[in-house]
Amino acid sequence: MSALSAASRNDPAQSAETSNESARARTRARATRRLLVNVLRIAFAVIVLGFWEMGTTIDANHREGLWIDPFFYGRPSGIATQLWIWITNGTAQGPLWLQVATTLEEAFLGFLIGVGLGVVFGVALGRVRLLSDVFAPYIKALNAMPRVVLGSIFIITIGYNIWSKVALAVVLVFFVVFFNAFQGVREVDRVLIANARILGASERQLSTHVIFPSALSWILASLHTSFGFALVGAVVGEYLGAIHGIGLVISTAQATFNPNGVFAAMFILAVVALTAEVVLTWLENRLIRWRPNTITDVRI
Amino acid sequence: MPTPTIELRHVTKRFLTPSGTAYTALRDLDLAVQEGEFCAVVGPTGCGKSTTLALISGLEPPSDGEVRVRDEVVRGVGRDVGYVFQVDAVFPWKSVLDNVATGPRFRGVDRRDAEDRARDWIKRVGLAGFERYYPHQLSGGMRKRAALAQTLINEPRILLMDEPFSALDVQTRTLMENELLQLWSATRASVVFVTHDLEEAIALADRVVVITAGPGTVKGTYRVDLPRPRNVAEIRFQPEFSRIYREIWDDLRDEVLVSYERSKRSVS
């Protein structure tokens, strides 16, 4: 929602004179606005998809050929058909749900392991100066490397099973979470640490009661990005060589010059990613309820 | 004279600035606070008042000299110390109840007992009914009350306060000062109360110590023989109060001017 409506919600002068009527008027205005936004959103999708579809079907003056060549760019109706075929008849690699489940399994495993390792190492290196001094150059070097190339190594060493994809996802997720956890630990308010020490905290209590909760908001913020990376790891890994998975579906579609298949698989990935995003946001709000209501509705 | 509860002997504290030069915050400071005494420390901004508290608490070691608490040299944070910070130091991810119970929990009291004691202290500082609230849901004054309860629940024999009320509005501040005196009269801990507000210092303390503009050292010590119990809001109208005020101000003014001149120079 816009900054404007956020301001009016917090304005004490306005809430002081809240009569029933003005409250109702505001609710109505908000509902109207939401409707407008939704209508415009749908209109946007219709226009883009409509032009795409028309560009691939209407032959401009019966000589020049089509505006958009569906052989390369696919067409929305073709993508929908492809999705329908996959849902009803399954893909060349087996039923569609199996492909989605495989990719999700790899992404989730990679995500969980990567987050776990990232948090542990981030907190450890953030707390212990010596560790961070020793490992800093290595971590920087590894981070600077395009880690997707590790996918090939993992396929060679681990094989075509899901674990090579999990490993790639772990590597991608780890660094995002690691840097956030590390920074979160380093940014802990000095006064809070001093206060905890005066109140009698041991080193361990300092970690569990002050440093970890304080770093938690940093870590949670990184989870949004890192689930995306986990998906990238899983899909790229499958692309490089797999038995099942969306990535394999994409690479097969590419090999058979089937752009509709590539787009349809992309669509499925988008749905998966958005669902994960919703779950993560819910989780975040549950875990840091102590935080003032930050501008959660700024996200589109 | 009995051994003072808190004693700083020829204490010097130097910090390393980010540019690598040494900055002397305190130079050859001597300070003694007796058992059960309320001692206020005043001085211009940046004279090392807060540093003094950090040294007494054991959060920082002195560069030179000796800090003794209850006749023992301070090494690390002691159990008998309470510290109320200038800025909010309650834990934002803990409710008021958990915040206040933190001290006993850290010290090994089991959860139920800690929470019972916390409820009692929350009541004493006037926050009953707000046990489940998080700090961001409270006003500045209420957060300060929570911080007071969090500190006092450990029943510190030595209470260090670093401009605890400076961020509050004047009315809330007077209220809190009175409540502090009340709570203190029940425990009679030895207090070192740092402030830049001379009125506050005189209204609260048994003794006021003036620190020079940095590097800080003691410029003068003044007894405040106003009767207790005191009402902070009204004590300012007593002739004795103005007499003490004038006497201390004569000393403090020079230091404030020095510090002001310095800040002007560093700005220009």
Paired with B40 in beta bridges are: B193, B208
Q: What are phi and psi of B222, to 5 degrees?
A: -130, 135
Tell me the C-alpha distance between B85 and B147, whole Å: 8
Rounded CA-CA distance A21/A11 in Å is 17
Interface test with A, best of B53, B102, B139 (most A CBs within 10 A): B102
Mutate to test the interface with B, among A192, A198, A203, A212 (most CBs of B within 10 A): A198
> Which residues of chain B have a CB within 8 Å of the CB of A194?
59, 83, 85, 89
Asked if residue B98 lies in contact with residue B37, where contact means CB atoms within 8 angstroms, the answer is no
Residue B181 is predicted with a pLDDT of 93
Nearest to B33 by CA among B175, B218, B169: B218
Say yes or no: A63 and A82 in one domain.
Answer: no
State which residues form the domain around A23: 3-68
Instruction: Assess whether A225 and A281 both reside in one domain.
Output: yes
- Looking at the fold, whether A81 and A37 belong to one and the same domain comes out as no
DSSP reduced 3-state for B210: strand
One domain, residues A49 and A82:
no
For residue B176, give both structure tokens: 């809190």
My answer on whether A25 and A138 are in the same domain is no
- The verdict on A62 and A197 lying in the same domain is no
What pTM was computed for the model? 0.75
- Angle of helix A96-127 versus helix A129-144 axis, rounded to 10: 140
Whether residues A47 and A133 share a domain: the answer is no
Give the chain A residue whose CA is nearest to the CA of B54. Answer: A194
* Cα–Cα distance measured from residue A43 to residue A102, given in angstroms and rounded to the nearest whole number: 35
- What span, in angstroms and rounded, lies between the C-alpha atoms of B169 and B173? 6
Q: Is A297 left (phi over 0), alpha (psi -120 to 50) or beta?
A: alpha
Q: Residue A170 belongs to a domain with what CATH number?
A: 1.10.3720.10
- Residue A298: per-residue pLDDT: 38
Mean residue pLDDT of chain B comes to 89
Whether A101 and A251 have beta carbons less than 8 Å apart is answered as no
Helix (H, G, I), strand (E, B) or coil at A175: helix
Tokens of B217: 């050292």
Question: What are the beta bridge partners of residue B210?
Answer: B42, B220
Query: What is the spatial distance between Cα A201 and Cα B104, in angstroms, rounded to a whole number?
Result: 10
| Nearest-Cα residue of chain A relative to residue B58 | A198
How many other CB atoms are found less than 10 A from the CB of residue A229? 25
Q: Is the pLDDT of residue B38 over 90?
A: yes
Residue A66 is given by DSSP the state B
Order of strands across the sheet with B190-195? B81-84, B158-162, B190-195, B38-42, B207-211, B218-223
Query: Is the pLDDT higher at A1 or at B257?
Result: B257
Query: Are residue A285 and residue A178 in the same domain, yes or no?
Result: yes
Q: Which two tokens stand for residue A222?
A: 């990184």
Domain count, chain A: 2
How many contacts (CB atoms, under 8 Å) link A and B?
63
What's the rounded Cα separation, in Å, for the pair B141 and B145?
A: 6
| pLDDT above 90: residue B233 | no
Cβ–Cβ below 8 Å for B106 and A196: yes
Convert A9-43 to b/e letters by CB count within 10 Å (16 or more is b): eeeeeeeeeeeeeeeeeeeeeeeeeeeeeeeeeee
Q: Do A192 and B89 touch (CB under 8 A)?
A: yes
A25 and A147 part of one domain: no
How far, CA to CA in Å, does B120 sit from each of A163, B134, B143? Answer: 55, 18, 17
Cα–Cα nearest to B219, from B200, B237, B198, B241 = B198
Instruction: Indicate if A99 and A34 belong to the same structural domain.
Output: no
Q: Where are the domains of chain B?
A: 6-80+158-267, 85-155
pLDDT at A3: 42
Nearest to A227 by CA among A123, A141, A98, A113: A113
Are A195 and B83 within 8 A, CB to CB? yes
pLDDT in tens, B153-189: 999 999 999 999 988 888 888 988 999 999 899 888 9
Q: CA-nearest residue of chain B to A290? A: B93
Of the candidate CATH numbers 3.40.50.150, 1.10.10.10, 3.40.50.300, 3.40.630.30, the domain formed by B6-80+158-267 belongs to 3.40.50.300
Tell me whether A10 touches chain B (CB under 8 Å): no
Measured in whole angstroms, how far is the alpha carbon of residue A36 from the centre of its chain? 27
Question: At which residue do the structure tokens 């690479």 appear?
Answer: A251
Are the C-beta atoms of B92 and A289 separated by less than 8 Å? no
Looking at the fold, whether A46 and A89 belong to one and the same domain comes out as no
Q: Do B81 and A198 touch (CB under 8 A)?
A: yes
Q: What integer pLDDT is reported at residue A295 of this predicted model?
A: 40
Same domain, yes or no: A143 and A237: yes
Distance CA A290, CA A273 (A): 27
Name beta bridge partners: B13: B26
Domain end (from A34, A68, A102): A68
The pLDDT tens digits along chain A (300 residues) read: 344 444 444 444 444 455 677 888 888 888 999 999 999 999 999 999 998 888 887 765 555 566 777 788 888 989 999 999 998 888 888 898 999 999 999 999 999 999 999 999 998 898 888 999 999 899 888 888 888 888 889 989 998 889 999 999 999 999 999 999 999 998 899 999 999 999 999 989 998 899 988 888 888 888 888 999 999 999 999 998 888 999 999 999 999 999 999 999 999 999 999 998 898 888 888 877 777 654 443 333
Q: To probe the interface with B, which of A190, A195, A284 has the most B CB atoms within 10 Å?
A: A195
Phi, psi of B214 (to 5 degrees): -50, 145
How far apart are the C-alpha atoms of A134 and A145, rounded to whole Å? 19
Inform me whether the pLDDT recorded for B229 exceeds 90: no
